[in-house]
Amino acid sequence: MTSFGSFDMPHRAAWKCAVVGLILGQVLLLSYLLPLERMPVLVVGLVVAAAAATACCRLLDRDDGGRNRCMLVVMFSAGGFGMMLGSTVDLGGLGLYGFVALCQSLPLSAIQLEGFWQRMALTPWTYVGMLLGGNLGMLAFDLAKPPRHRLRTILGYGLCNLGMMAGMVAGEEILMGLNGWLTQGLSAALMFPAMLAGMILGMAMLTALVKPLLSATQAGHSAEDCCL
């Protein structure tokens, strides 16, 4: 499997800089979307971003050949940035308070198909931005170091997209379920972190569940290569 460990250090350093920049961009957009005092939000956000960026860089520094791990890091940073950028287009001056109120006003749960389509219709760029950002990030990664097995790559993309969507919806639903115990300001502040955490967990769980299938696919291709 492809990993950042197989790249030379300048290339790896450039990817790490890109990931850090995208995470910082998420913090700036979150501070814009939260209708609170900007400076406290920005300070707290920068502390959290520093921890997340450090964790991502350490994952990219590992040389044990984990392509799926690199995929999670790239899709988290690029997909998360795209999601927040899309939300600024969808919500405008409403901010995250408006987003929370919108989710509360919808009669159907997001885990129901009709409720999911309602959310997509009302905030389309949030979803488009997430998928576009995540896939462009992984495409840039794969163009830099093309994976050997095409079917495995297609399955990986599909799983990550499905995991991002499912995790994003699950994070939103869990937070909405806690609304009785949370203030509106806290719900708004936790909305995007919950959706980002859901994205990561969704991708990680799906890739872990189907890892035997992907390994079998790779083994089959290797066997074909040996026969040629």
pLDDT at 226: 37
CB 131 within 8 A of CB 79: yes
The ranges of the chain with pLDDT < 50 are: 1-3, 5-10, 221-228
pLDDT at 7: 46
pLDDT at 82: 92
CB 109 within 8 A of CB 89: no
